[in-house]
Copies of this chain bind each other. A is one copy, B any other.
Amino acid sequence: MMKQNHISELRLAIIGLISMQPQSGYSLRKFFSTTPMGRFSSSPGAIYPALKRLEEEGWIAGAIDNADSLRPKKVYSLTEEGTRALHLELTKAVTREDIIWNLDGLILRFPFIEQLGLSEVLRFLTQFEEEVSRYIPTLENYLDGVSEEITLCGRLAMQQGIDGYRGMARWARHAIEEISTHRPDPTQGEN
């Protein structure tokens, strides 16, 4: 079935955000509840246990802020091990299984990959575009094969899925272009 070869979306979102800037449970909750990234959970009942587990596993380390005050805050940073784990996850090859079972996780990975450099981003997008484009004919063939026996709405629902994948491939191509032509900022030069 091959559904779970990856870390959960919540874990990825948490360590990804922490990698950009140290975060407390509360700041994560706030971010999730005020941005469209809230699609990846929220509620304290998910976040605090997840943070605890990540700390137990040594991926993140919490430092108490305002230790003396009456309202202390626990701010987590990535450990070296956590950084390694995150980078490993972000650079994993994009597989058809991901395309089918873990699309949201894939899109979630994307913004965090930027830290690894634009070449990594391009590698990801290229793989993504290729896997998606390769999957579409499979779906089309299936649809062709059953179009006699399927109901009208069944066909339309499948069409929706195919259109969705087509849109993603298009998006990836567009993103590749935008990133490729992204000014290496000639006024600064990089030598």
Instruction: Decide if the interface of chain A is mainly helix, strand, loop or mixed.
Output: helix
**With a CB–CB cut-off of 8 A, which chain B residues contact A111?**
151, 153-154, 156-157
Interface-facing stretch out of A53-61, A77-85, A167-175? A167-175
Cβ < 8 Å to B, chain A residues 34-61: 35-36, 39, 42-43
**With a CB–CB cut-off of 8 A, which chain B residues contact A43?**
1
**When the two chains form their complex, are residues B139 and A152 in contact, meaning their CB atoms are under 8 A apart?**
no
Q: Mark A91-102, 1 if CB is under 8 A from B, else 0.
A: 000000000110
Additional pairs, 7, CB under 8 Å, beyond known A36-B142, A110-B153: A35-B142, A36-B161, A39-B100, A107-B161, A110-B160, A113-B153, A163-B167
Interface size, A (range):
35 or more
Cβ-based interface call for A121 (8 A) = yes
Tally of this chain's copies? 2
In the assembled complex, the Cα of A101 lies from the Cα of B41 at a distance in Å of 10
Cβ-based interface call for A164 (8 A) = yes
In the assembled complex, the Cα of A142 lies from the Cα of B151 at a distance in Å of 39
**With a CB–CB cut-off of 8 A, which chain B residues contact A154?**
111, 114
> What are 10 residue pairs bridging A and B, where the CB atoms are less than 8 Å apart in the complex?
A1-B43, A36-B161, A107-B161, A110-B153, A110-B160, A152-B178, A156-B179, A160-B175, A163-B167, A164-B167
**When the two chains form their complex, are residues B107 and A157 in contact, meaning their CB atoms are under 8 A apart?**
yes
Q: Looking at the assembled complex, report how far the CB atom of A161 sits from the nearest CB atom of chain B, in whole angstroms.
A: 7
Cβ < 8 Å to B, chain A residues 6-60: 35-36, 39, 42-43
**When the two chains form their complex, are residues B36 and A160 in contact, meaning their CB atoms are under 8 A apart?**
no
Cβ-based interface call for A158 (8 A) = yes
Cβ-based interface call for A71 (8 A) = no
Q: Looking at the assembled complex, report how far the CB atom of A82 sits from the nearest CB atom of chain B, in whole angstroms.
A: 20
